[in-house]
Amino acid sequence: MSEKTPFQHEIAELIVTALHLEDVAADDIGLDDPLFGDGLGLDSVDALELSLEISERYDCMIRSDDPDIDVLFGSLRSLTAAIETRRGE
């Protein structure tokens, strides 16, 4: 398993704290593990909450009507890459 960068770990912590995931630690979230469905088990409400938190903290807008939304929220790796790419847009 690949080591997380500091930013990837930061986003994993954000997922855990923002969504109040009591049974999950940031270290439990693998870089390529699915965040939704059979993976971490997040749902559309979680995506909305996480999008708002990301927008506030990182000045990065991830819209629910984005055609790539499934890819962006597909894994920790794809989510952190999207945030890094879209910061300040």
Per-residue pLDDT at 2 exceeds 70 = no
CATH code, domain carrying 42: 1.10.1200.10
Please give the model's pTM, rounded to 2 decimal places.
0.89
Asked if the structure places residue 1 within a domain, the reply is no
23-77 pLDDT, tens digit per residue, is 999 999 999 999 998 889 998 899 889 999 999 999 888 887 788 888 889 999 9
Q: What share of the chain is helix, strand, coil (3-state, %, to 5)?
A: 50, 5, 45
| Strand, coil or helix: 28 | helix
pLDDT of residue 89: 63
Per-residue pLDDT tens for 22-37? 999 999 999 999 999 8
Residue 69 lies in a domain: yes
Number of domains in the chain: 1
**Structural domain harbouring 77:** 6-86
pLDDT at 70: 85
CA dihedral (60, 65, 70, 72) in degrees, to 10, reads -10
